[in-house]
Structure 1
């Protein structure tokens, strides 16, 4: 499954081009700050879609419903997540199930 081009941003990491996207509306659990923000990354080049990287961040979704303050996700955060996932074995050119990268250490769910 490929990312929608609408709303996605491009980033180049170590000479390879990727697209990344944060879901505009939070899921129910993200809206209540029970689970952290996630974003998706895929290789931008090539006609064949590969494995998508799903990064679970350590912060709340910016559009949460309980007014928890958040920091924006900067391209530097995305780049470091891509590098960490590549170090853990993510190959964005090979097909398969989404690769999960959990960076949520320190996230405190709201009651």
Structure 2
């Protein structure tokens, strides 16, 4: 599992890329990608194109990111989901809370 981030200050967006399994073991590294950014100051893009699995704790981590980013529509976008990951997000009604690309 690998988590990385790229900050584009000009566009006001933080891109968080996740590779492999996205589960509880990644709680701290995931939180570290955004905790030094002022709440509500940036938009976030979570790239799951290389994630092959996520569990309920990953869903909880995404909700914590949404809370940090602000709950306005479009503050957090999730992109690049495999069909299996997209199905999990839809079952959890995350398509109502996040923009899915």
TM-score calculated relative to the size of structure 2: 0.28
TM-score calculated relative to the size of structure 1: 0.26
Greater fraction helix: 2
Greater fraction strand: 2
Larger Rg: 1
